[in-house]
Every structure is written in C-alpha cells, then in structure tokens.
Amino acid sequence: MSRIVCAFCIGSGKDPFGILSPRSACQVCLGRGTVELPEPHTPCRYCQGSGVNPHGSRLTCPVCWGKGAYSSLEGETETCPQCHGAGKAPLGYLPCSYCLGKEVIRR
C-alpha cells in the first residue's frame, strides 16, 4: 500500500464542489487529504489523474473513484479488444464496460 494525495480535492480534504456545504469533507478521502492505493498503481487516464468525471464535472471519476490512480492489473496485460485502448464506451460518455476504463485487460 502507498499513500497518495487525493486527486479529487487535491489534498485539501474538503469537497471541491461544496455540494452539501462548503465545509463538507471530500467524499473520496473522507477529509484526510490522502488515499491509500495498493502498489503498483497506474495514473488514471480517463480523468487525466484529476479524479473528476470528465463528463459530469461534480462527480468522481468512475474509473479511479476520485483517487486519480488505480491499482495496476497484475501479470501480463493486453490492449482492450473492445475499445482498442481508448478506455471509453463507443459514445464516449462512459468508461468502456469491458476494461472498465483501464484500457488494458489481463491476458
């Protein structure tokens, strides 16, 4: 496990959009400002590491759940045959359902 700065609130521990109240805690790190991820991990390309859903600016990224990175797949991987490595569903508003936005699958 390693501890990384929460991408969603950029380490502030506060909800970046203040949906409930400007002082409410970040829903991703629960106000800690950092999140734990198993090693090794991969920066999330779906949200470009921001942790924010690119298609719903106040939501967490559906691939990394707001952390900005996710645990890497173990073992050998290959490019997702469904999205051809794009990580997005055909319409582009959702992550690819086959690789779950991770762009690669376990071989």
**CB–CB of 101/93 below 8 Å?**
no
**CB–CB of 85/103 below 8 Å?**
yes
Taking CA atoms, 51 is separated from 36, 45, 65, 76, 85, in Å, by 14, 10, 7, 26, 19
DSSP code of residue 13: -
Does 37 bind Zn ion (CB under 5 A)? Our answer is no
Q: Site for Zn ion (CB under 5 A): which residue of 20, 21, 24, 29? A: 29
Q: Site for Zn ion (CB under 5 A): which residue of 5, 96, 104, 106? A: 96
Does 72 bind Zn ion (CB under 5 A)? Our answer is no
Q: Site for Zn ion (CB under 5 A): which residue of 19, 36, 90, 98? A: 98
Q: Smallest distance, Å, CB 2 to Zn ion?
A: 16
Does 69 bind Zn ion (CB under 5 A)? Our answer is no
**CB–CB of 101/87 below 8 Å?**
yes
In this structure, what token pair is assigned to residue 30?
């629960």
Nearer to Zn ion, 47 or 74 (CB): 47
Name the residues that contact Zn ion, by CB under 5 A: 6, 8-9, 26, 28-29, 44, 46-47, 61, 63-64, 80, 82-83, 96, 98-99
